[in-house]
Amino acid sequence: MTISEIYDLFLLEQQYRNNSVVTIDWYKWQLGDFFRWLGSDNPSDLSLLHFKEYGVYLRSLSKRDGDKLSGGSVNGALRAVKAFYNFAIDSEFLEDFSRQLKLPRVHKKEQLILDDDEIRELLACFNPGNLIDLRNKCFVVLMMDCGLRRGEIPRLNVGDVNLKNNTLLVRGKGSKQRIVPIGDSCSSLLSEYFPPQSLLLYDSDSPFFCDRSGNRCTDNLIKQVFQDLKERSGIERLHPHLLRHTFATYYLADGGDLETLRLILGHSSINTTQMYLHLAFNLKLSRSHYHSHLDSLEV
């Protein structure tokens, strides 16, 4: 049995589990990079040593902007490799060393969300008379007003957008669906891009957002939009997920509860959502005036 043959069985297992196309494509991408680095089709090279060496190699890589890969990106790649290793172990193609397959520690940086002035600057980048700019502004507002992930926006269909009730049906990770509320300003913007009377002319499964050719928007198109927005806005740290972080932090700081936020964001565990408690606390602290006890003493 070769690594290629084990890989084919691994993909078959993912299809059998009814994992989404996005998940399967992610495995193909991450494992393809690992196999090219490994340069072998011999299962004996699927060793713990090579697993760790690959992690060290990933940390040495640089992105296009010259920055090193983040700890989260490295761990994401290693999670895919770990899943493949565990499949090979469970299928008895490898001896069991699964307990030693540990991901490296990630040193998390403080998330610096967009402040009000930056939000205004970002929204001012769009030409209201241009349909493409209007569409791109919808991308930004959906992430910042509803906490949508970048990859969830292209999957929106005409039938998923309920402008009467101000809700969206969102297809998240693993084909999970959730209902997400939208604010009045977001609803008005979506209505401007796709007037309600026009929605009646399309099938419910038609894409809500299209490219210049009339085809469904892609994840890569949204990446390109944000590359352009980074230059136009001058916000160097701008990326799609920052808008999701910004939404979640303001939601809690403005009085929202953690469980509702979990449902809106589509997190399967409350532990993932809890990271925003710290960000919201910092935001509240920056908004308020600190009352020093020492200042009240006559010393």
Q: Helix or strand or coil: residue 109?
A: coil
- Token pair of 298, please? 């006559």
d(CA 46, CA 94): 8
Q: CA 239, CA 237: separation in Å to the nearest integer?
A: 6
188-220 b/e (C-beta count within 10 Å ≥ 16 → b)? ebbeebbeeeebeeeeeeebbbeeeeeeebeee
Return the DSSP state at 208. Answer: S
Rg (CA), the chain: 23
165: amino acid identity, one letter: N
Tell me if residue 35 falls in helix, strand or coil: helix
User: Which residues have a catalytic role annotated?
Assistant: 149, 173, 241, 244, 267, 276
The partner residues of 180 in beta bridges, in order of sequence, read 168
